[in-house]
Structure 1
Amino acid sequence: MDQSGSNTNMDIEKESTTFDYSKRSQWLRAAVLGANDGLVSTASLMMGVGAVKHDVKAMILSGFAGMVAGACSMAIGEFVSVYSQYDIEVAQMERDSVEIEKEKLPSPMQAAAASALAFSAGAIVPLLAAAFVKEYKMRIISVVVAVTVALMVFGWLGAALGKAPAVRSSARVLFGGWLAMAVTFGLTKLIGLYGL
């Protein structure tokens, strides 16, 4: 048996099964950032409003407004960012006299839509958690529990897709989310109580 032929086949198999996880970084970053941002910012906004207004309508309206504003902001930010990258890559191809292959270039519209959808997917979690609970304390608890579960899932998902340590990633995301909600609730409660 030809040993060199066997080695070549093994090299080809190895190349075909090796995947460069860094290529996922752009869309993964945008999706995880968008969903996590939607989850944490909307939940924190709702917790802040909930600290001073106990009715469900105020919490839901503030959360909905936060979701719409955040999704628009994420979409616009991602569009501008990716369009800048697009322009740079086109300019580089023109300088290098390389044929411009538009299908290989990043799509600003696609990135904007993905960011808005990811943000909205995260933001819907606290909205749904609060929507059907009339009693104030139970509503706050249900938002915290739903957000905690979602943060753990987002942390684990980001780690799994990026082949990173799951526990550390989930813990980092969870701690950040809890901190944001606690600070927003506490400061808003303080301002509400003392009129600062």
Structure 2
Amino acid sequence: MATNLNDPKFTVPENDVEQQTALELEHNDDEFDYSKRSQWLRAAVLGATDGLVSIGSLMMGVGAVKQDVKTMILTGFAGLVAGACSMAIGEYVSVYSQLDIELAQIKRDNERGNQNGVLQTPQQDKEDKESLPNPLQASAASALAFALGAAVPLLAAAFIKYDKARLGVVAAAVSVALAVFGWLGAVLGKAPVVQSSARVFIGGLLAMAITFGLTKLIGSQGL
């Protein structure tokens, strides 16, 4: 007896097929581990934000007492170089310490498994090594991101002649960049966008305002 494929009993409704496809796509998206991005994402976002806030605040502080654009640019550039080196070294040491701890834990787990007769398969060993933090990757990402963030206030100040306008442009450029970096970090890490962007934005504005105010106060006292 021939089977009629057009019989409603043997056909899959179009809506069911669409729902199944959507569920498969959603499942594949859920399987992607966004925590794998954490090694470089954390270092990159932290580095860029630190570069924006540190150099932006530094230049705002200098601009509060010095009207010379060369002084502001040289100060900002020195801060860029020093900050990038500091971020790279600090991130390398921090992540390498984390790597040592995780390697020691893996060694203890393997020894405990061997004692209990549970041997580590090559696939499991490979997965464990791939999940380990990379100090060089984190260090490079942190330094490059810091330099990228620090370049924003430097470029903003370089083409403005008048000191008051220059301060306003630097503050505006840093504020916009902070919002963008906060949004980008939230999107890449699948974190709440509004809260992440707001924290970075408000924190950066406070840092620049405090630096500008205190430097202006000290400068006005003739120190």
TM-score range, shorter chain: 0.7 to 0.9
Residue 62 (structure 2) aligned to one of 46, 49, 74: 49
TM-score, normalisation: structure 1: 0.88
Classify 1:9/1:133 alpha carbon distance in 2 versus 1 (closer, same or farther; 3 Å): closer
Note if 1:138 corresponds to 2:165. Answer: yes
Classify 1:193/1:109 alpha carbon distance in 2 versus 1 (closer, same or farther; 3 Å): same
Match in the other structure for 2:28: 16
Structure 1: unaligned runs, 5 residues or longer:
none
Larger Rg: 2
- Distance in structure 1 (CA, Å) of the matches to 2:174 and 2:55: 10
Note if 1:90 corresponds to 2:117. Answer: no
Match in the other structure for 2:199: 172
Classify 1:155/1:48 alpha carbon distance in 2 versus 1 (closer, same or farther; 3 Å): same
- Distance in structure 1 (CA, Å) of the matches to 2:136 and 2:191: 29
Note if 1:155 corresponds to 2:182. Answer: yes
Classify 1:10/1:131 alpha carbon distance in 2 versus 1 (closer, same or farther; 3 Å): closer
Contact 2:58 2:211 (C-alpha < 8 Å) held by counterparts: yes
Cα RMSD (Å): 2.5
Instruction: Give the stretch that moved more between structures: 146-155 or 23-32.
Output: 23-32
- Distance in structure 2 (CA, Å) of the matches to 1:195 and 1:24: 49
- Distance in structure 2 (CA, Å) of the matches to 1:104 and 1:169: 26
- Distance in structure 2 (CA, Å) of the matches to 1:122 and 1:66: 12
Displacement, 1:171?
1.9
- State the percentage of identical aligned residues: 70
AA matched with 2:175 = T
Match in the other structure for 1:123: 150
TM-score, normalisation: structure 2: 0.78
Aligned pair count?
193
